[in-house]
Amino acid sequence: MSSTDTIPVNTFRNYLNILNDSSAKEEIKLKATQELSEHFEMIMQSPAYPSFLENALKIFMRILQEGEPQFIQENTMQHIRKLILEMIHRLPITESLRQHVKAIITMMLKILRTDNEENVLVSLRIIIELHKHFRPSFNPEIQLFLGFVKDIYTTLPNHLTSIFETSSEIWINDLKDLNIEVLLSEAYSVKTIHVEKPLESNTQQIYNLLPRGILSLKVLQELPIIVVLMYQIYKNAVHQEVSEFIPLILTTINLQPTITQRAHALFYSSSIVWLQHAYTTLSDSCRTLAMLHTIPVYGTTCNHLKLQIPCLHARLLQCR
């Protein structure tokens, strides 16, 4: 290997060592992660890539496993965790990666249940890509994932009041006053946090609260396509779980704000949440309809779909 090849490899290994150093400051770790991300393609083209991959994934998995999920978008550790997930998503589909697929999928499934919207969306893309290319053998975690998806759709109607009547703006005097757990329980899209500064500075600090992935409307829209993929790969093993999922999807398509909710004082102030959900209805409903056609579970599915079209049209009209 030439000196021009070894220099970047050694440099990137040093960045990994920084990430693996529990005593290193978060700002230094972020800088190392940014450098890795910016030059990731360089190391993937190096002959030393297989050994680098082994070490990198070990460190990446440890950080994701041991680190706490972050729900303030601007937090340094959130930037680090998201960059790590994005690098995993960028890994080339090679035989070197195959031996790590099971461990990566296990970690991504954990992130789906515990992490924020941004990280969950990347994790879903990773799960989809790995299943498309490696077709891993069936394991009980897949059934747990489908149960997780089922729970999301089952509990969604219970959250309608919060979705349509909760403001997306939060005003506080100090970030320490923020009760994140309470806010996360009714966050379905990103909320803007305005932190008042002393009057003499005449400025504000603005942060963004990321919803939990399990409550995120963006995540909700991505789930049907991955359920279809799981069914296509593991048809015989997950037939029952997917059949139970279909009526939940049909119920979800019909969800809409009541007249009272539309008249609520906060409905228009939080309209960005509703509009985001409604404007993407066509996209996510098309995915849902594609899923229903793909999975021939109920003989009456087509009749159900005919009944849904007027409802979908009515919901889109509400966005005008």
User: Other CB atoms closer than 10 Å to residue 303's CB: what's the count?
Assistant: 9
The kind and range of the H/E element at 286 are helix 281-294
- What are the helix (H) ranges across 67-216? 76-90, 95-98, 101-114, 117-134, 140-155, 160-165, 180-184
157 and 133 within one domain: no
What is the pLDDT at residue 127? 95
- Split into its structural domains, the chain has a count of 3
Q: pLDDT tens digits for 16-60?
A: 999 999 999 999 999 999 999 999 988 888 888 999 999 999 999
Higher model confidence: residue 297 or residue 55? 55
Res. 222: pLDDT tops 50: yes
Higher model confidence: residue 169 or residue 213? 213
CA distances from 131 to 47, 63, 114, 138 (A): 26, 23, 21, 11
Per-residue pLDDT averaged across 99-123, rounded?
96
Instruction: Tell me which of 99, 118, 137 is where a domain ends.
Output: 137
Residues 6+ apart with CB under 8 A from 77: 26, 67, 68, 70
What is the pLDDT at residue 287? 54
154 and 11 within one domain: no
Give how far the C-alpha of residue 303 lies from the chain's centroid of Cα atoms, to the nearest Å: 33
262 and 150 within one domain: yes
Q: pLDDT tens digits for 80-101?
A: 999 999 999 999 999 999 999 9
What is the pLDDT at residue 228? 81
280 and 153 within one domain: yes
Instruction: Tell me which of 137, 154, 179 is where a domain ends.
Output: 137
Contact by Cβ (8 Å): 71, 209: yes
244 and 174 within one domain: no
228 and 160 within one domain: yes
Total residue count of the chain as it appears in this document:
320
The range of the structural domain enclosing residue 203 comes to: 165-209
* Gyration radius of the chain's alpha carbons: 22
What is the pLDDT at residue 11? 87
265 and 126 within one domain: no
315 and 246 within one domain: yes
